[in-house]
Structure 1
C-alpha cells in the first residue's frame, strides 16, 4: 500500500519505523505467514509484515488457542535472501545457521 504524507515529519517517522518491521517465516517449510494471518505464502508480496511486538502478540494468541507456533521473525531486509537461497533455518540473531 502506498502512503502519501503532507507533513514531512510524519513521513520521516514512518520511514524510520518501517525499517524495523519483520516477516514471519515457518521454521520447517521456509514459507511466510500470509498477510491475512491464515495460511502460508512463498512470496513476500502477500506475506504478513509487522513489528516484533505485533508478531509476539500473534504468538500469544496462537498459544492461548492451543495452536502451535512454528514461525520465526525475520527482518524484512533479510527475507528475500532466505527465500532465494531456500535456507532451512536462521539462528536467533537472524543469521543463517551453520548446522
Structure 2
C-alpha cells in the first residue's frame, strides 16, 4: 500500500529525488524505508487510539497491517506498551 504510493510519487515527479537518492539519504541518517514506515504507522495508530473508539482490528486493517498481531508487536517495539495499555494511559 504505502510503498506503492511512494513509488508512484517518484514516477509522477511529486518527490524531487530519485528513489536511489532517497534510499541513500535515509541510509545516511541510519534509517530505512521500513523503519520510517513503521514509525509513521505507529504515530497514526496513536492518533486513532486517542481520538476514536475504533477497535484494534479496525485500526490494524486501516493501517494495512497483515494481522492485528503485527500492529501489536510494532506498537510495543516503538512505544514500550501494547496498543490497549497505551490507549488506557492516553485517554484516562
Fold match by TM threshold 0.5:
no
Higher helix share: 2
- Which of the pair is proportionally richer in strand? 1
Higher relative contact order (CA 8 A, sep 6+): 1
